[in-house]
Homo-oligomer: A and B are copies of this chain.
Amino acid sequence: MTSTTPALLPIAGDACCSGAADAGALAEPEAQALARRLKALADPTRLRLLSIIAAHEGAEACVCDLTEPVGLSQPTVSHHLKQLVDAGLLSRDKRGVWAYYALRPGALDDVAHALVAGVAPR
């Protein structure tokens, strides 16, 4: 599916004059990049994980602090945290046996801004 980009795409982010009638619209690479970050956020469990971490002491938490509030198994929580780290929303700091996760400052605002500015640039 969509393995081969059928139509050429001006990946070179030239801001103006994209060429088609949908000038100024999101190009596919940008849409995919933004969708990838939004997909990491579009899950109630992951939203709660972010929120719990943000509200936690020191704005960081280890996995064992998170499994109980969300009521899921430890592998599942680790899986969700990995998604959030891969999306650049969380940072992971392993100290000894514990892995402390913390919100990356500005990451959420970055996504929110990219969403509004990317879709409705005027």
Contact = CB atoms under 8 A, between A and B. Distances in A.
Interface of A: 6-7, 20-26, 28, 31-32, 34-35, 38-39, 41-45, 47-48, 50-52, 54-57, 65, 68-69, 71, 103, 108-109, 111-113, 115-116, 118-122
Nearest to A114: B112
A21 to B, nearest CB: 6
Given A42-B42, A111-B115, A112-B115, A48 B26 contact: yes
A20 B52 CA distance: 10
Contacts of A20: 68-69
B21 A56 contact: yes
B42 A28 contact: no
A75 to B, nearest CB: 16
Contact of A31 (B25, B28, B48, B116): B48
Given A20-B69, A24-B55, A38-B47, 16 more contacts: A21-B69, A22-B56, A22-B69, A26-B51, A28-B44, A31-B45, A31-B48, A31-B51, A38-B38, A38-B42, A47-B118, A50-B119, A54-B119, A54-B120, A54-B122, A112-B113
